[in-house]
Amino acid sequence: MEKTTFNPITIRKDFPILNRKVNGNPLVYFDNAATSQTPQQVIDVIVDYYSNYNANIHRGVHALSQEATDKYEQARIKIQKHFNAAKPYEVIFTSGTTHSINLVANGFSSILKAGDELIVSAMEHHSNIVPWQMLCERTGAILKVIPMSEEGELLLDEYYKLLSGETKLVFCNHVSNALGTVNPIKTIIDAAHEVGAAVLIDGAQAAPHIKADVQELDVDFYTVSAHKMCGPTGEGMLYGKEEWLNKLPPYQGGGEMIAEVTFAKTTYADLPHKFEAGTPNICGGIAFGAALDYMNAIGFKEIAAYEHELLHYATEQLLTIEGLRIYGTSKSKTSVISFNIEGIHPYDMGSILDKLGIAVRTGHHCAQPIMDFYKIPGTVRASLSFYNTKDEVDVLVAGIKRAKAMLL
Amino acid sequence: MGIKEIQEEIVDEFSMFEDWMQRYEYMIELGKSLPLIDEKYKIDGNIIKGCQSKVWVHAELEGDKLVFTADSDAIITKGIIAILIRVFSNQKPQDIIDSDTKFIDEIGLKEHLSPTRANGLVSMVKQLKMYAIAYQTQLN
> What number is the ipTM of this complex?
0.85
Q: Which of B10, B34, B51, B132 is labelled catalytic?
A: B51
What's the rounded Cα separation, in Å, for the pair B16 and A246?
A: 68
3-class state of residue A235 by DSSP? coil
Residue A355 has pLDDT above 60, yes or no: yes
Residue A306 has pLDDT above 90, yes or no: yes
pLDDT mean across residues, chain A: 95
3-class state of residue A221 by DSSP? strand
| pLDDT value at residue A3 | 53
- Sign, CA torsion A305/A306/A307/A312: positive
Contact flag A354-B75 (C-beta cutoff 8 Å): no
Task: List, in sequence order, every residue forming a beta bridge with B60; answer none if it has no partner.
Answer: B67
Q: What's the DSSP call for residue A188?
A: H
Average pLDDT of span A256-271: 84
Residue A261 — pLDDT band, cuts 50, 70, 90?
confident
**B chain contacts of residue A347, beta-carbon cutoff 8 Å:** 52-53, 74, 76-77, 117
* Bond preceding residue A272 cis, omega within 30 of 0: yes
Average pLDDT of span B28-55: 80
Contact status of B25 with chain A (Cβ, < 8 Å):
yes
Selected for mutation to probe chain A from B17, B19, B20, B21 (highest A CB count within 10 Å) is B21
Torsion of CA B4, B9, B13, B15, to 10 degrees: 60
Average pLDDT of span A72-84: 98
Closest Cα in chain B to A346: B74
Selected for mutation to probe chain A from B17, B18, B76 (highest A CB count within 10 Å) is B76
Average pLDDT of span B80-91: 92
**B chain contacts of residue A351, beta-carbon cutoff 8 Å:** 24, 76, 113-114, 117
| pLDDT value at residue B37 | 82
| pLDDT value at residue A34 | 97
Average pLDDT of span A313-335: 97
The pLDDT tens digits of the residues spanning A275-295 come to 999 999 999 999 999 999 999
- Sign, CA torsion A343/A348/A352/A353: positive
pLDDT mean across residues, chain B: 87
SS3 letters across chain B: CCHHHHHHHHHHHHHCCCCHHHHHHHHHHHHHHCCCCCHHHCCHHHECCCCCCCEEEEEEEECCEEEEEEEECCHHHHHHHHHHHHHHCCECHHHHHHCCCHHHHHCCCHHHCCHHHHHHHHHHHHHHHHHHHHHHHHHC
Residue A197 has pLDDT above 60, yes or no: yes
The angle formed by the CA atoms of residues B105, B114 and A29, to the nearest 5 degrees, is 135
Contact status of B113 with chain A (Cβ, < 8 Å):
yes
| pLDDT value at residue A5 | 82
| pLDDT value at residue B49 | 66
Residue A58 — pLDDT band, cuts 50, 70, 90?
confident
| pLDDT value at residue B116 | 74
Residue B120 has pLDDT above 90, yes or no: no
What's the rounded Cα separation, in Å, for the pair A226 and A208?
A: 9
Task: List, in sequence order, every residue forming a beta bridge with A383; answer none if it has no partner.
Answer: A31, A336
Contact status of B52 with chain A (Cβ, < 8 Å):
yes
Greatest alpha-carbon span in chain B: 46
- A172 noted as active-site residue: no
pTM as predicted:
0.92
**B chain contacts of residue A340, beta-carbon cutoff 8 Å:** none
What's the rounded Cα separation, in Å, for the pair B132 and B136?
A: 6
Alpha helices (runs of H) in A13-55, residue ranges in sequence order: 40-52
Contact flag A351-B113 (C-beta cutoff 8 Å): yes
**A chain contacts of residue B73, beta-carbon cutoff 8 Å:** 345, 377
Report whether A91 contacts A240 (CB < 8 A): no
**A chain contacts of residue B19, beta-carbon cutoff 8 Å:** 24
Task: List, in sequence order, every residue forming a beta bridge with B69; answer none if it has no partner.
Answer: B58
